[in-house]
Structure 1
Amino acid sequence: MEVNPLELSEILRNKIALYEHLGIEVLTMGPHEVRFRVALEKNYNHKGTAFGGSLYATGVMAAYAMVLTGLHERKINTENIVISKGEIEYLRPVDTDFEIICRFPSIEEENAFYDELKDKGRVKAKLESQIVGLGPGRSLKASLIGTFVVRC
């Protein structure tokens, strides 16, 4: 079953209370890649830059959304997706709206992820979300690597 961006937004809004407060717009979503645009206005700190916790939360949410979309596409009946470990590297301050991009490194890794889940009823893998500033000089601002566990 395909999930469109509006359906994905509704699923996230209903499952993750924080989603609604982060100013996320789903740009693209699919089982291979998810892109969110995030409003700085909803996530700034005392310095006028994006709050580190917001960068972390939106990075995790993009990975969650990508896996959720893959589960729906493959008709795997679970939404049991959790992050067991996450590390974020803050490279530069984010002083504009920003984009979160999460993608599987390759189609082979994506297929292996879901094949292991089907075969073993559980999969654990690292996924990366990149945080990119949207102003002039668009550049990588932070990178989150999360270990996600999915169970059937």
Structure 2
Amino acid sequence: MRHDEITEYLHAHIPITQALGARVEAWDGGAIRLSAPLVPNLNHRGTAFGGSLSALAILAGWAVLHLALREHGLEVRLVIQRSALDFLEPIEGDFTASARLPPPAQWDRFLATLARHSRARITVEGEVASGGRAGGRHEGVYVALRGSDRG
């Protein structure tokens, strides 16, 4: 999928992405980078609101998994189970959130578990940044459900 097609999909299926101003900047099959403008995501101190940073980081982890699973021909329900964002420094400009698939051994174990049990859990790491500086590190645990477990 092209970056604009992925962005359109996110806007159509996850409405908050429109309010955040989220856009796909890069997708290479194993990593994704999303961007968002500062202005609609400001807090009372003139920096990026922590909730916006967290939402974009969660979205990046979700999107990298969603796209990779689709490329494997798997249609699943994908949900966040746990999210932790360590804020390193304030973000004072437009920002990005990036996430990458886990190492091959973990990814393969995740796919095998999903095939065997119709549900699997995986941890995705990422970061939020602005102007080339890391503003936070994210770790999300996502659960994939297929078949009758999709709810």
Task: Report the TM-score when normalising by structure 2.
Answer: 0.89
> Any conservation in 1 of the 2:102–2:123 contact (CA below 8 Å)?
no
| Separation in 2, partners of 1:67, 1:54 | 20
Specify whether residues 9 and 20 from structure 1 end up closer, same or farther in structure 2 by C-alpha distance, changes over 3 A only.
same
| Separation in 1, partners of 2:13, 2:111 | 22
Which ranges of structure 1 fall in alignment gaps of 5 or more residues? none
The SS at the match of 2:25 is: strand
Matching residue of 2:129: 132
Matching residue of 2:63: 65
Matching residue of 1:111: 108
| Separation in 1, partners of 2:100, 2:35 | 15
* Map 1:1-152 → 2, pairs under 5 A: 3-78=1-76, 80-134=77-131, 138-152=132-146
Task: Report the TM-score when normalising by structure 1.
Answer: 0.89
Matching residue of 2:149: none
- Using the aligned pairs only, state the percent identity: 27
Task: Tell me by how many angstroms 1:75 deviates.
Answer: 0.5
Count residues with an aligned counterpart.
146
Which ranges of structure 2 fall in alignment gaps of 5 or more residues? 147-151
Task: Tell me by how many angstroms 1:129 deviates.
Answer: 2.0
C-alpha RMSD over aligned residues: 1.4
The SS at the match of 1:56 is: helix
The SS at the match of 2:47 is: coil
Task: Tell me by how many angstroms 1:30 deviates.
Answer: 4.2
Task: Tell me by how many angstroms 1:8 deviates.
Answer: 1.4
Please give the per-residue CA displacement for 1:88-118, whole angstroms capped at 9, x wherever unaligned.
Answer: 1111000011121100242332233223222
The list of structure 1 runs, each at least 4 consecutive aligned residues, that deviate by more than 4 angstroms after superposition, is none
> Any conservation in 1 of the 2:31–2:99 contact (CA below 8 Å)?
yes
> Any conservation in 2 of the 1:132–1:142 contact (CA below 8 Å)?
yes
- Which amino acid letter does the alignment assign opposite residue 32 of structure 1? G
> Any conservation in 1 of the 2:48–2:92 contact (CA below 8 Å)?
yes
